Structure 1
C-alpha cells in the first residue's frame, strides 16, 4: 500500500507542475504578423501621441531565459499600459452617453496575459467628442461613431449573432483614456482571438 501512495503522490506532483508550466507564452510567432493585440495584452505600445495604444504582445523575460511573472507562472512581467490608459470591461451594455465598467486586470493564462474585469463597476460618462475604434482583427481597428461602438458592445453582451464582419466579439475589453473631468475621450476595443 505505501508504494501506491507514493505513486499517487508523484502523479499529483507531476500534474501540478504541468499546470504551472502551461502558463507560459507559446512561440514568438504565435500572433501571426508579429504582434497580436487584445485582451491577451497585444499590439504596439509605441502608438502615436493621442491614440489609444495597447500593451505589448509578449511579456518581457529576464536575461538568461527566466521569467518574472507571478510566483509559479511563466508569463513574464504583466503588460504595462501607456500613461493615461486603462483597460475596462463593461458590466452592462453601454447606453447613450454613459457606461458602467469594471477595471480590467491582466491574468496569466496558457495563452499569455488576458484581461478580465475585477471589482465593482464604475460609472463613466463620455466626453462631447469621443474617438471610438472597433477591432477588425489582430492589431487592426476601424474608427467608428461612438454610438456604433455602444451598439457593438451591447450586442456582444446580449446578442452576438447580431455582430457582422469585419467585427467580432473578442473579449469585451476596451482600452480607454479620460479627460480632466474623468469622461471617456478615447475608447478602443481590444482584439483577442
Structure 2
C-alpha cells in the first residue's frame, strides 16, 4: 500500500510539473532572454522583402488600428509656429509593445483653423483640453527640449490625432499618449 501511495504521489508530481512547463511560454535559451517571452514579434518575409505583418496589416499585434472617418495621425517634424506646422503622416507599425505610429514620407504643411480644439495627453486614455498655443509650445519642447515638459504632461511619442475642416485646416489636434 505504501509503495502504491508513493507511486501515485510521484506520478501526480510529475504530471503537475509537466503541466506548469507545458502551459508557459517557450524559453529562448540560445538568446539568453531568461524571461521566457519573446522580445520581438515574428516576421514572415514576403517576396518583396517586406514583412508579412506589415504587408497585410495582421501579425503578432492583430489587425492594424483603423481610425475614425476624418481622423489622421501625424508626427510634427519641427516645432509648430503660430498658425502652422510641418508634419509627416504617421502610419501604424507592429512592435513588441503593440501598434505604434511613426511618421513616414515627406512632411506636409498644415495651417490651423480659426478655432481649434487642442488636447494634451496626461496619461493612458486621458487628455486635458488646452489653448492651442500651449499645445504648440508643448510639441516644440518635445522636439527640442524634452526636459522642459512638466507634469502632468510628458513627451509620449510625438504623435497627434488631427481632423481637418472643409478648407483642409487643422480643427482638432490631440496628443496620443504612449509609454
**What is the TM-score of this pair, normalised by structure 1?**
0.65
Partner of 1:80: 66
Give the alignment of 1:92-103 within 5 angstroms: 92-103=78-89
5+ long unaligned stretches in structure 2: 1-29, 32-36, 43-51
1:22 to 40, 46, 58: 40
Partner of 2:5: none
What stretches of structure 1 move > 4 A for 4+ residues in a row? none
Q: Distance in 1 between matches of 2:118 and 2:102?
A: 21
Q: Determine helix, strand or coil for the equivalent of 1:168.
A: coil
Q: Is the 8 A contact 1:90 1:100 kept in 2?
A: yes
Q: Distance in 2 between matches of 1:181 and 1:20?
A: 47
Partner of 1:165: 151
Give the alignment of 1:39-78 within 5 angstroms: 69-70=53-54, 73-78=59-64
**What is the TM-score of this pair, normalised by structure 2?**
0.70
Q: Determine helix, strand or coil for the equivalent of 1:152.
A: helix
Partner of 2:169: 183
- In structure 2, relative to structure 1, the CA distance for the partners of 1:69 and 1:20 (3 Å cut) is farther
Give the alignment of 1:101-120 within 5 angstroms: 101-120=87-106
Give the alignment of 1:143-154 within 5 angstroms: 143-154=129-140
Q: Distance in 2 between matches of 1:70 and 1:161?
A: 34
Q: Is the 8 A contact 1:133 1:144 kept in 2?
A: yes
Confirm whether residue 137 of structure 1 aligns to residue 129 of structure 2.
no
Q: How many residues align?
A: 135
Q: Distance in 1 between matches of 2:66 and 2:120?
A: 21
Confirm whether residue 192 of structure 1 aligns to residue 167 of structure 2.
no
Q: RCO greater where, 1 or 2, for CA within 8 Å and sep 6 or more? A: 1
5+ long unaligned stretches in structure 1: 1-13, 25-67
Q: What is the deviation of 1:97?
A: 0.3
Q: Distance in 1 between matches of 2:89 and 2:102?
A: 8
Q: What is the deviation of 1:75?
A: 1.1
Q: Distance in 1 between matches of 2:99 and 2:109?
A: 26
Q: Distance in 2 between matches of 1:166 and 1:96?
A: 24
